[in-house]
Amino acid sequence: MLTDITLGQYFPGNSPIHNIDARVKIVLLFIYIVAVFLFDNRINYGIMTAGAVGVVLLSGLPLGTVLKSIKPLWWIILFSFGIHLFSTPGEPIFKVWNFAMTKEGIIQGFIISLRLVLMIAVSSLLMFTTSPLKLTDALESLMSPLKKIGFPAHELAMMMTIAMRFIPTLLEETDKIIKAQQSRGSDIGDGNFLQRAKGMIPVLVPLFISAFRRADELAIAMEARCYQGGVDRTRMKQQRLHDIDFWAGGIFGVFLISLIVVQFVL
């Protein structure tokens, strides 16, 4: 069944990582990613990996789930590993035609792969531990300084919220329509490519019609409640920083300082 797919990837929970303010999480994630690509000391790679593993453990999510998030990008990682393997100058170990595999290449390839893995794993962790709603709220709040130069931060966040809100609804609807058409003897998903594409029409047409209808209804409902975009809107849930956010910031600060010390002093 289509609705079996969990979208948005959010795993509800009550760990310290879940409870950190989404804005703090986004900012720290951003700094972490920059750090991953900035520091190239071997001890630092160890510290950064340990940091990532520590955060995953703290989140209470199974390590396997987080590692699974790397799967879609597996080929990119492998590809960049291969490129580095053969394109780094140094002491050759193995030669294929004009390309030499170097010892430095192996090390460089490992480092790049590690960087990518760390980046993906930690970003996925943000998605796993933050509800989509909190995420968009945080993005709006982080982008709000840009409103001064006419950037539609609120509208963008609203669009994202609505889009995400309707993913499960539309999935459910698709499921219903597929079943209704199957009951009329249609074999959706059978046959060759052309037949399958044709088989999608009885599903897509009603789905689009219903999506437009829902959009229309939602627009009217929002207008009826005097929705007016971002101007002077207050919120029901004020985003406030709590102790845990300062702790998170503090611990991350210590982490960052130790990275800098290792990089430049040692």
User: Which single residue is written with the structure tokens 């609120």?
Assistant: 154
- The Cα-based distances of 72 to 53, 67, 83, 117, 129 in angstroms read 20, 11, 19, 11, 19
Q: How far apart are CA 21 and CA 78, in angstroms?
A: 34
Q: Which is nearer to another protein, 8 or 202 (CB)?
A: 202
> Could you say which of 71, 98, 185, 234 contacts another protein (CB under 8 A)?
185
Q: Least distance from C-beta 193 to another protein, angstroms?
A: 19
Contact 201, 188 (CB under 8 A): no
Among the listed ranges 45-53, 138-146, 172-180, 225-233, the one in contact with another protein (CB under 8 A) is 172-180
Number of residues that bind another protein (CB under 8 A): 22
Question: Is 182 one of the binding residues for another protein (CB under 8 A)?
Answer: yes
Output phi, psi for 95, to 5 deg.
-130, 130
Whether 211 and 162 have beta carbons less than 8 Å apart is answered as no
Tell me the C-alpha distance between 86 and 91, whole Å.
11
Among 88, 161, 186, 239, binds another protein (CB under 8 A): 186
- Give CA–CA dist 121/63, Å, rounded: 10
Q: Tell me whether residue 21 or residue 173 sits nearer to another protein (CB atom).
A: 173
Map the footprint of another protein across residues 199-228, applying CB under 8 A.
201-202, 205-206, 209-210
Does 177 participate in binding another protein (rule CB under 8 A)? Answer: yes
Q: Write down the least CB distance from residue 174 to another protein, Å.
A: 11
Which spans in 130-152 are helix H? 132-143
**Options 9, 49, 65, 181; binder of another protein; rule CB under 8 A:** 181
One-letter amino acid for residue 169 of the chain: T
Report the interface residues with another protein, using CB under 8 A: 1, 3-4, 6, 173, 176-177, 179-187, 201-202, 205-206, 209-210
